[in-house]
Amino acid sequence: MAEKPFAWFVTCLLWAGPVFGFSVAPQIDCPTQVRAIASEVREPEGATTALSKQTIVFAIEETIKGAVSGNLEIELLKFGPLVVEIGKEYLVQVNQGKLCWLESVE
């Protein structure tokens, strides 16, 4: 084994290759970015499933990028990993009506 250091080096590179994909955060470039307060959560009507969506209405406080005013409505999974609380302030990034990024401002 010690006679083939190049083979070990190549083997370690192949095993470490997927690690680089997880260690770098992607750059998100969404055309619409706002600072907004969650003002309303609309629940789906009828039976709920694991993939049921809820509509979150944000009252825009400041437009950082893009041309948006008034309210912004975003659909999220009701039982998904993102939880939005009414009255809290968020940084919201949207691309063609689809959520790119959602972050609570504290």
Residue 82's CATH number: 2.40.50
Q: Is 54 a domain residue? A: yes
Q: Structural domain tally of the chain?
A: 1
- Strands (E) across the chain are located at 32-42, 53-65, 71-77, 89-95, 98-104
Question: What local confidence, expressed as pLDDT, does residue 28 receive?
Answer: 65
More confident residue, 16 or 30: 30
What distance in Å separates the CA atoms of residue 106 and residue 101, rounded to the nearest whole number? 16
**Which residues form the domain of 56?**
32-104
Domain assignment of residue 77, yes or no: yes
- The helix/strand count (H/E) of the chain reads as 1, 5
The pTM of this model reads: 0.69
**Is 11 domain-assigned?**
no
In a domain, 19, yes or no: no
Tell which residue, 105, 47, 42, has the closest CA to residue 75.
42
27 pLDDT tier (thresholds 50, 70, 90): low
Residue 68 belongs to a domain: yes
Q: Compute the mean pLDDT over every residue in the chain, rounded to the nearest whole number.
A: 83
Q: Are 35 and 61 in contact (CB under 8 A)?
A: yes
pLDDT band at 23 (very low <50, low <70, confident <90, very high): very low
